[in-house]
Structure 1
């Protein structure tokens, strides 16, 4: 995993940075939801995230999955809401391929390789 975050020899890289840790909920792993939410207030770092960009995620199996980083404003009946970033377009493959389940602890790291934003999914040993 660290080799991916360091990048191939000769490529310009930046990072890695821990950006998010969470315990998965049942909605995080439901196929019909098809997204992994990162609540904005829970992000450890957010100064480089921009919604609407494509990204690459490297999972525990060293499989690369293309994702889209989107911004979701979730409205509540009370009138308030929460701001989230969501990793979509490939999240079901990540959940299935890594056998993720409710209550699994995960962390996301970010790095850039040749100016492309990448994420690494890390599960505790």
Structure 2
């Protein structure tokens, strides 16, 4: 009975490792592209940066989870993971169009700027995840 339960372990670990790797790659790219340094700001206890970054991370993970559920292969999963990352980057740049001094406001601990970016990223992730149910 235990062996039957463990038959799904290889697919599980494959999807999990790829999902984790895609997430780490996304976080690297996202923090490289944004003008402010999220890691430094969060280490300095900047709540605006933490809220914005957490919203972005959750907004990225939601479609990753949806892609894992709906993917027909590991390659399909990875492709949709990249698409999820691109959508989050588009969201960041769109919010910056609306709020041109976004990074400066986050660095200055303007919580409303961090909340708006985090909420926009989360909303993008929810919509993205819903659209990945094919």
Give the TM-score taking structure 1 as reference length: 0.30
**Of Structure 1 and Structure 2, which has the larger fraction of its residues in helix?**
2
Give the TM-score taking structure 2 as reference length: 0.29
**Of Structure 1 and Structure 2, which has the larger fraction of its residues in strand?**
1
